[in-house]
């Protein structure tokens, strides 16, 4: 195959692999078999080896990282990543609603409600639609540069489906329950210490200095917010989530909009038992004022937005039978 034909074939394979990666890891609706996907990836890698001048950072071949890092560089987020206040029950949510409405006198208020994925918060930066940086949340102002590691997460697009000059997007990297169980089985066999829960396993896997180890850990990610952005002005949180989906991000499907806090409370409580049937761990729900204009008016305290709150499930208090409590007299 001559150089020009190779360049065309490389471009064609890249588009095909990006598309099928999106179908499989973002939409969970694969159209081809793994074997077919792997065959195309092997063809791309061998063509890129023959013509290395055609390799680009967003090529599917660039997912599994290069060399092992010595340590993680510290990077500054383009916009701060805030914390969330917590609500531990319905009364806390009513209090949140009263405060929001008192700051928005006479206005209708809608709440957009999302599941709260129990993983590790990350921030991704895309320049002209290409992933250029991934970082941990860190202290909210600076985080660790884990670009090579986030590139191994198949649910994270290396290139967006629509062009946009600049986008900083935030989400939660997580390890599915199945992958967590398999990983701990493997570690048990090797006599290695087990991870206590999927969140620790995800954090441990993302903070690997060797991206090849991260690549084996079957991580995924749901995106849910933007930081710095040029070229898009969403009106509501619900619209923002649809836009992230169109760009090619994985976005959690269980999100609802309500116009009163009692419906929010019922929805949150309905997930208390349903959550155990999910293939990933959630530790609550996140309630956000839907209108971005109202978010702007409400603003932030020193550490968290006034327009959002995390509803935490009551911790599973193991019912301790009285006879199991040894009372020393």
Ligand X SMILES: CC(C)(C)c1nc(N2CCN(c3ncccn3)CC2)c2cc(C(N)=O)c(N)nc2n1
Q: How far is the CB of 137 from ligand X (least distance, A)?
A: 5
Q: How far is the CB of 293 from ligand X (least distance, A)?
A: 16
Q: Which DSSP category does 154 fall into?
A: T
- CB hemisphere CA count around 207 (13 angstroms): 15
Query: Active-site residue among 8, 70, 79, 116?
Result: 116
Instruction: Reply yes or no on whether 116 is catalytic.
Output: yes
144 is a site residue for ligand X (CB under 6 A): no
Buried b vs exposed e over 156-185: b needs ≥16 C-beta within 10 Å?
bbbbbeeebebbbbbbbbbbbeebbeebbe
Interface residue with ligand X among 265, 286, 287, 298 (CB under 6 A) is 286
Interface residue with ligand X among 109, 225, 238, 298 (CB under 6 A) is 225
Interface residue with ligand X among 19, 54, 82, 243 (CB under 6 A) is 82
Pick 265 or 289: Cβ nearer ligand X: 289
247 is a site residue for ligand X (CB under 6 A): no
305 is a site residue for ligand X (CB under 6 A): yes
Assign residue 191 a region: left if phi > 0, alpha if psi is -120 to 50, beta otherwise? left
Q: DSSP alpha helices (H): ranges in the chain?
A: 3-21, 34-50, 90-102, 147-150, 177-189, 198-206, 211-215, 237-247, 261-274, 292-298
83 is a site residue for ligand X (CB under 6 A): yes
Pick 83 or 197: Cβ nearer ligand X: 83
Q: How far is the CB of 90 from ligand X (least distance, A)?
A: 20
DSSP 11-24: HHHHHHHHHHHIII
Window 18 to 77, contacts with ligand X (CB under 6 A): none
Q: Within 10 Å of residue 31's Cβ, how many Cβ atoms?
A: 11
The mark string for 148-167 relative to ligand X (x by CB under 6 A, - otherwise) is: --------------------
Pick 13 or 84: Cβ nearer ligand X: 84
For 100, residues 6+ apart whose C-beta sits below 8 A from its C-beta are 109, 289, 298, 306, 307
Residue with tokens 């999927």: 198
Residue among 276, 271, 246 nearest 256 (CA): 271
Question: What tokens appear for 187 in the block?
Answer: 């570690």
Window 99 to 128, contacts with ligand X (CB under 6 A): 114, 116-117, 121
84 is a site residue for ligand X (CB under 6 A): yes
Q: How far is the CB of 290 from ligand X (least distance, A)?
A: 12
254 is a site residue for ligand X (CB under 6 A): no
Residues annotated as catalytic (active site), given as ranges: 116
Contacts with ligand X, residue ranges (CB under 6 A): 82-84, 114, 116-117, 121, 137, 172, 224-225, 286, 288, 305, 308
């Amino acid at each position: 195959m001559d150089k020009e034909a190779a360049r065309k074939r490389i471009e064609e394979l890249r588009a095909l692999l990006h598309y099928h990666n999106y179908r499989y890891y973002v939409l969970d609706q694969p159209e081809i078999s793994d074997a077919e996907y792997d065959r195309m990836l092997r063809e791309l890698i061998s063509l890129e080896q023959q013509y290395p001048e055609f390799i680009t950072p967003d090529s599917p071949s660039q997912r599994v990282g290069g060399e092992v890092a010595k340590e993680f560089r510290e990077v500054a987020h383009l916009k701060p990543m805030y914390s969330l206040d917590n609500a531990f029950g319905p009364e806390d949510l009513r209090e949140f609603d009263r405060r929001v409405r008192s700051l928005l006198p006479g206005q209708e208020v809608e709440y957009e409600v999302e599941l709260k994925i129990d993983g590790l918060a990350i921030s991704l930066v895309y320049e002209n639609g290409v992933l250029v940086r991934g970082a941990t949340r860190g202290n909210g102002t600076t985080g660790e540069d884990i670009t090579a590691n986030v590139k191994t997460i198949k649910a994270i697009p290396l290139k967006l489906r629509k062009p946009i000059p600049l986008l900083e997007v935030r989400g939660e990297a997580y390890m599915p329950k199945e992958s967590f169980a398999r990983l701990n089985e493997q570690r048990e066999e090797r006599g290695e210490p087990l991870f206590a829960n999927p969140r620790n396993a995800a954090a441990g896997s993302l903070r690997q200095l060797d991206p090849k180890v991260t690549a084996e850990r079957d991580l995924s990610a749901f995106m849910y917010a933007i930081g710095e952005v040029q070229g898009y002005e969403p009106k509501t949180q619900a619209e923002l989530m649809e836009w992230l989906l169109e760009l090619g991000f994985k976005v959690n499907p269980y999100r609802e909009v309500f116009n009163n806090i009692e419906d929010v409370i019922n929805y949150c409580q309905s997930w208390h038992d349903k959550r155990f049937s999910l293939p990933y761990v959630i530790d609550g729900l996140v309630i956000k004022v839907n209108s971005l204009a109202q978010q702007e008016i409400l603003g932030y305290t020193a550490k968290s937005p006034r327009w959002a709150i995390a509803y935490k499930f009551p911790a599973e208090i193991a019912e301790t039978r009285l006879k199991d409590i040894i009372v020393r007299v």
